[in-house]
Amino acid sequence: MHQALMLLNWGPVTLFLTGAFTPTETHKEALNRRGVFIETTPVDRIEDKATVVLVDQRRVTMAGIFVTPRTSINGSLAEQLDCAVEVGPIGDFVATDAMKATNVQGVFCCGDMARAAGNAALAVADGSLAGIFAHRSLIEELALLH
């Protein structure tokens, strides 16, 4: 939904529904207002660079294809530590505050694991923040300043 609404700034958009997402009437109205075409026939396969072949064998040649895979937290460490998890638009992520601290005292989390949507530049910045605040949390005197 997010990409379908945003990509119109680059050109015409077709939203292929694959069963992973079903737009509500409100979603459909927003997509219609922005000029997004909704294709409800299931996708059979992708051929060549960006030709979508539907199960009825219609072929839709696109300039490009964007996909939004569901994300999941890799491994079980967050679960083992009992870190709170939130559900984002594309999957689960560990909940943190602005200082990258989780709900578990002394546990910090950063990067894609702690974001509603992945982004390499933000993951790097989050890592820096988590490191700084984890270090600060070890200095008792700094806690007295807050």
Calpha distance 57→49 (Å, rounded): 17
Does the reported pTM lie above 0.75?
no
Q: What is the pLDDT of residue 141?
A: 79
What are 66's two structure tokens? 């964007």
Q: What is the pLDDT of residue 146?
A: 60
Residues in the chain where the model's pLDDT stays below 50: none
Nearest 5°: phi and psi at 51?
Answer: -105, 120
What are 53's two structure tokens? 């072949």
